[in-house]
Amino acid sequence: MRELNITTRRYFYGNTIDDFLSMEDAEIIGYLTNAHTLTYTSLRDLQAGAWKEEISIMKKSIKDYKGRGHIYFEYVIPRMGRRIDVVLLIDGVVFLLEFKAYNEAYTQADIAQVWDYALDLKNFHEESHNRSIIPILVATEAIEINYEFIPFDDKVFKPILTNQKNISSIIRESLLFCDNNNEDDLAWAISRYSPTPTIIEAATALYNNHSVEDISRSDASAENLTKTCGFISSVIERAKENSFKAICFVTGVPGAGKTLVGLNIATQQFEKDDVAVYLSGNYPLVQVLTESLARDRQRSLKEKGEKISIGNARSEVKAFIQMIHHYRDTCLEGTKVVDGDIVADETYYNTTKNKNSYIPVDHVAIFDEAQRAWTKEALANFMNRKKGYPNFPYSEPEYLISCLDRHEDWAVIVCLVGGGQEINTGEAGIKEWIESLNRKYKDWHVFISDRLHDAEYSAGGSLELLKEHKNVEFEPSLHLAVSMRSFRAENLAKFVHFLLDRDIDGARSLYRTLDKYPLVLTRSLSKAKRWLKEQSRGSERYGMIVSSQAERLKPLAIDVRFKPDVVHWFLDDASDVRSSFYLEDVATEFDVQGLELDWSCVVWDGDFRYSENGWTHYSFCGNKWQNINKEERKLFQKNAYRVLLTRARQGMIIVVPEGSNEDPTRNSKYYDSTYKYLKEVGIKEI
C-alpha cells in the first residue's frame, strides 16, 4: 500500500486511487478523525456522517480510474481558512468536489464557494498554475440538471452542478476537454502555496492562529514578510528581557503588507500572553475588520456546535483591534496637566483605588498608518471641543509615546508608515514622531527602516536629530519594497506613481508590464459596470470608487455626499443591495484606504484635471468649481487619486465621463484632457 502522510497540515487523508478503493471505509474515517482532532480538538457526529457518505460516493464514482491518480480529503486553503472536501487528481487534471450532504438545491453561496476554491488554487498554488481545474458542487439530494463544460482562458472551468449520481460521467466527459498529462501528483500535494490575501482574509487567518507564512507569498520577487516580522519580534523579546523601551518604524509601498505585519505581530504577542493591541486611525478599516472577525468567530463556533452572540464576538475582537482615538481616550482617564506634561491625578486614584489604571495594559502597541496621527494643534482643538480637556500639551505621536512610557519595565511601539498617502488635514506625518522622540524620549531605542530618508515619507531633517540618540539602528528589513495587493501586477503602484507625476514615458513603459492585470479605459459608466460583472468570478468583489471631491457625478447617479455603510459595502454578498456588488453606492478614498477590492471602477470627475503644465485642482462650491490653491490641499487631492488607483487586486477600469456642454459645471473640456492623457499613456479603451 502506497500511503501518503495523512497527518500533514495540507490535508487530512491522501492516497492513490487504487489504495483508496481497497481500504475499508472505517479505516479511512479513522485517519480523517485523527487528523481532525489534531486540528480542531472535537468531532461532531454530523461531520463523521458526511465523511462516510463522501467516501461511499467517491468509491462508486472513480472505480474506473485505477492507476491514474490520487485523492485527498479536507485539503486546506489557508488564505480562506477553509478546507476543500475532496480533491481528485486524474491524468493531471484537478477536480475539486464540494459536498453539500442532503441538500436539495444549489445555492449561489455554495457555487461561489467551490469557484473560490478553484480560483485560489489557480492563482496561488504553484503546481496548479498550468493545470485544468474543474470545480464540482455536489448537492447530494438535488434534482439532475443539464451541465456544460465552460473553460476560461486560465483553464479554470465554470462550476458544474450535480447530485451524487452524475459524478462519474462528469469526470469522464470533462477529461475530453482537458490536456491530459502525467504531472506528479505528489508534487501537487506538497506544492508551494504563495497567496496574497486581502487584508480581511489576512486578519481572519491570523486571528484563527495561522502564521504569516501560511498566508503570504514566498516567491523571490516579493519581500519576505517573515523577515520583517522576525526582526520586530526579536526587538520585542530583547526589550522584555533587558527592560528597555523601543520604537520600530516600518515603511513600504502601497499594498506591500504593512498592515499584515502589524496584525501578525499583534496575534503573536497574544499567543505569548504579552498583551498587544493593533491600533488604527482609519475608522472604516477598523469597522470592517472588527465585523469580519466577529462574523467569522460566530461562524467557526457554529460549525463546531458552539454558540456566541455577535455582540460578544465583537467584544472579543475589540480587545485585539481598536481605534487609536478610543485607546487615546482610555489612557486619558485619571490624568491631569502639570507644567506642560500629562501625569497621574493622585486624587482620582485615591478615590478609585486603582493606581494601575494610569498605565496601559498593553506592552506592545502597533500603530497603522502612523503618518496620519494628528498634529498638536489638531489634537488640542479636538480635546477642547469634544472632551472638555483644555490646553492639551501634546501632538498625537508624543502623547501615544508617553502612554507606553508609563510602563516601568519595557514597552514597544511599532509604527507602520505609508508613503504619499496623506489625505486629510491635521495629519502630523512621520516627522512629528521623530521630533517627539528627540524632545522627551531619548532613552528609547529606535529602529528605523533605511528608506525613511525617502522624500515620500516626509521625515525631513528631523532624522538628523536622531544623531543625539545613543541607541539608533537603521534596518533594511523594516522596509517592504514590493506591492503585494495585486498578485497580478507588482508594478501597479509604481505605474500609478509615474502616472500622477506626469512621467508619460515611465508610465507607458510600466503599463506594458501589466499584461496580467486588465487596466482599461472608457467614457461609458454602463459599459464599465458590464465589464466589472464579466471579469468577476465566484465571490470576487467589485465596486465603484470616486474622489470625495467628485461632486459633479450626480447626473450619473453618483452622489459622494451619501456615505455607504462600509461594513455592508465591503462584507455583504451580491444579494444585498447595500453591498459594493450592486454598483449603486460609491466609496471614496476615506472609505477604501487600507482596504481593497478584486476589481474596481474608478470614476474620474473634473476635480482633478490633467494639463500640460501640471494637474489642476478644484473643489465644487455652491454652483461652480473653484481653484484649490493651497499646496497641502493639492497634495491631499493627488494622494486621494493615488489611493483610488491602487485599490484593485486583479484589474481596474477607469471611467472619464464625456461631460456635457449644456451643463457649465460638466463642460467637456473638464474631462477631455484627462481622457486624452490616459490614452497617451497607453491605457486601452474598451
pLDDT at 572 over 90: yes
pLDDT at 358: 76
pLDDT at 562 over 70: yes
Tell which wins on pLDDT, 643 or 179.
Answer: 643
pLDDT at 454: 63
Residues, the chain: 686
pLDDT at 552: 97
- The predicted model gives 605-611 an average pLDDT of 97
Cell of residue 538, nine digits: 465566484
Give the whole-angstrom CA distance, residue 513 versus residue 507: 10
User: pLDDT over 90 for what percent of the chain?
Assistant: 53
pLDDT at 224: 64
Tell which wins on pLDDT, 468 or 21.
Answer: 21
* Minimum mean pLDDT range among 183-197, 288-302, 347-361, 546-560: 347-361
Give the whole-angstrom CA distance, residue 584 versus residue 577: 8
Per-residue pLDDT tens over the stretch 95-113: 999 999 888 899 998 999 9
Per-residue pLDDT tens over the stretch 394-432: 999 999 999 999 999 999 999 998 766 666 666 767 888
Label residue 328 by pLDDT band (50, 70, 90). Answer: confident
334's torsion region: left (phi>0), alpha (psi -120 to 50) or beta? left
Nearest by Cα to 138 from 175, 178, 171: 171
Label residue 4 by pLDDT band (50, 70, 90). Answer: very low
Label residue 1 by pLDDT band (50, 70, 90). Answer: very low
pLDDT at 219: 47
Measured over all CA atoms, what is the biggest interatomic distance in the chain, rounded to whole angstroms?
85
Tell which wins on pLDDT, 270 or 22.
Answer: 22
Q: Reduced to 3 DSSP states, what percent helix, strand and coil does the chain have, rounded to the nearest 5? A: 45, 20, 40
pLDDT at 686 over 80: yes
Q: How far is CA 320 from CA 4, 271, 358, 651, in A?
A: 39, 12, 20, 32
pLDDT at 543: 98
Per-residue pLDDT tens over the stretch 447-492: 998 877 665 555 556 677 677 778 888 898 998 877 666 667 778 9
Give the whole-angstrom CA distance, residue 318 versus residue 321: 5
pLDDT at 421: 60
Q: For the chain, what is the mean pLDDT?
A: 87
Strongest mean pLDDT among 253-267, 411-425, 587-601:
587-601
Beta-bridge mates of residue 542? 599
pLDDT at 221: 38
In a 3-state reduction of DSSP, which class is residue 661?
Answer: coil
For every residue of 201-249, DSSP letters joined together read HHHHHHHTT--HHHHS--STTS--HHHHHHHHHHHHHHHHHHT-EEEEE
Give the whole-angstrom CA distance, residue 146 versus residue 162: 9
Is residue 437 within a helix (H) or strand (E), and if so which, with residue range?
Answer: helix 430-440
- The predicted model gives 524-545 an average pLDDT of 96
Residues 197, 205 contacting (CB under 8 angstroms):
yes
User: pLDDT over 70 for what percent of the chain?
Assistant: 88
pTM of this structure: 0.81
Tell which wins on pLDDT, 320 or 477.
Answer: 477
* Minimum mean pLDDT range among 312-316, 538-542, 614-618, 666-670: 312-316
Nearest by Cα to 80 from 185, 224, 193, 223: 193
pLDDT at 40: 57
Is residue 90 within a helix (H) or strand (E), and if so which, with residue range?
Answer: strand 82-90
Residues 686, 626 contacting (CB under 8 angstroms):
no
For every residue of 267-310, DSSP letters joined together read HHHHHTT--EEEEES-HHHHHHHHHHHHHHHHHHHHHTT----H
Label residue 86 by pLDDT band (50, 70, 90). Answer: very high
Per-residue pLDDT tens over the stretch 190-204: 888 777 777 787 778
Label residue 211 by pLDDT band (50, 70, 90). Answer: low
Give the whole-angstrom CA distance, residue 450 versus residue 281: 25
